[in-house]
Every structure is written in structure tokens, then in C-alpha cells.
Amino acid sequence: MSASPPAYTLAALYCFARFPDPQALAADLRARCADLGTCGTLILAGEGINGTVAGDAGAITALIGHIRALPGCADADVKYSWADLAPFARMKVKVKAEIVTLGVGDLDPATQAGTHLDPADWNALIADPDTVVIDTRNAYEVAVGTFQGAIDPETRSFREFPDWFDAFAADLKAQGRSPKIAMFCTGGIRCEKSTALVKARGFADVYHLKGGILRYLEEMPEADSRWQGDCYVFDERVAVGHGLQPGDYVTCRDCGLPHLRDAAHDCPGDESGVWPHRG
């Protein structure tokens, strides 16, 4: 007998677009998600949409069709994966000031972001010793896995990245360096903003991994991969590896940090409001 297909299709998506009335779009999306029975989170702002949703295959196809029909979202970046159990407890559609919070209000990622590279071109770029490779994610994510030779900014939230980069850029300029800069994140959205920031700070050769780590792990053969470890994800799978297969991580109920299932975990205690996987 053949195995049953996974019960849930997951779609991680984002699109930078101009939404004059995100509240109205959010109300329509809440109704559509309720009709389709999906779970997950969608965030809307004047700059676009971001989120991860799950449901049966037909529901996700219909919801992605609805999202692609929003103004400027026909080419929304969507990455799919699958799960046997519901990866989210409920459906939430929120309106915020930014779809991913960097706190630098004068950026326009739709026009200012760095050059996108597919996985093969990415491998060639980061193999160059003169390329500076920066992991734009937070420290607890980097601890699960990252690319060989990548710099870890050791941030606790994406809002800390601009200050970290300004200090890093000052060091580069003091050394008289203006290197190629390669940046990556989970699904690509943080790099849209962070590469726009880096270009605004005067660096010209700025690149990022198209589709993020998730697309890289989906498409790059493990034998050719420069990735080490697993990739932290913001759902009940906790982490995935090559082929987007679930890893062996769990989330600490006390601090919300990921750790290997059978490994000792040095829990820092209650860090409510800092780690994103709580509750």
C-alpha cells in the first residue's frame, strides 16, 4: 500500500507592494481564511504582505490565488512544504506598520533590494574568499544551522540589525574595504530589507539568496550544499534540513528556544517577549 499524502500543505509567502488600505484587505483575508479553514499567520502593512499558512491542498491553492490577486502581488514569492499534523493552532490576520520589522522607515525594498541569486550562483559567490557573507537572522536561529563562513551578528531581534551593520560597516571602511556582500535569511523577506539597508549605506555589490534558506534546502543536492545544520522555522516543525525534511529539534516550554530533542538544554529562563516561538 502507498503512504497517504501529508494532510497539510504549508505556504510561506511574502510580497512588497503598495497597499493604501491594508485594514480592508485584512478583513477580506480573514473572511476568506475562515471559509477555507486554514491556519497560520498573515501580516499586512502599507508595504505588502508576509506570512505562513497551512491547510489542505485545495484550500492553500485557493488562498494563494486570492493573495496573488491583491494589488502588486501577482509575483508573490511562495515556498511550499508539507506536514502530517497541523503546524499552527489557529488563523491570524494582522495589520502592522511593517511586514517584517526593521525600524528603518525610509527604505523601499521593492526597488532598492540587492541582486537575487539562485542556489548555484549563491554557492559560487560565497566560495569566493573576498565575499563577506552575513546571516541576517537572530542568534537562536543561527545556532541551529548556517552557511559555512557566515558572520553571525548575534542579534536578538531584526530591529538590532541596523545598529550592528552600521558598526560593521564602519570597521570595513576603516580598513578601506568595500567588498561584495552576500546576505541570507529563512525565506528571503528579511534580506529584501537588509540588502536595501546595506545599499543605502553605500555598498554597491550586494546580493541575497533568492527564496532564502528554505528554497536552497529544497533545491540544492546535499552533496553540493554549503549549508551546515538545520534551518529554524516558525512553526511546530521547529527546524528542517535538506529536502525540507523535519529535523530533530524541539522547543523549550520555558524559554521558547530550540534545542535537539535528546540533548541537554541550558535554559536561560523566562525571556517573554524576546523569543518568537513562545505560546
Catalytic residue numbers read 185
How many angstroms from the chain centroid is the CA of residue 148? 19
Give which of 87, 95, 22, 100 is closest to 60, Cα–Cα.
87
Q: What angle do CA 109, 103, 74 make, to 5 degrees?
A: 30
Q: How far is CA 106 from CA 34, 37, 224, 259, in A?
A: 35, 37, 39, 37
Residues in the chain: 279
Q: What angle do CA 278, 158, 208 make, to 5 degrees?
A: 120
Round to whole Å and give the CA distance between 78 and 70: 14
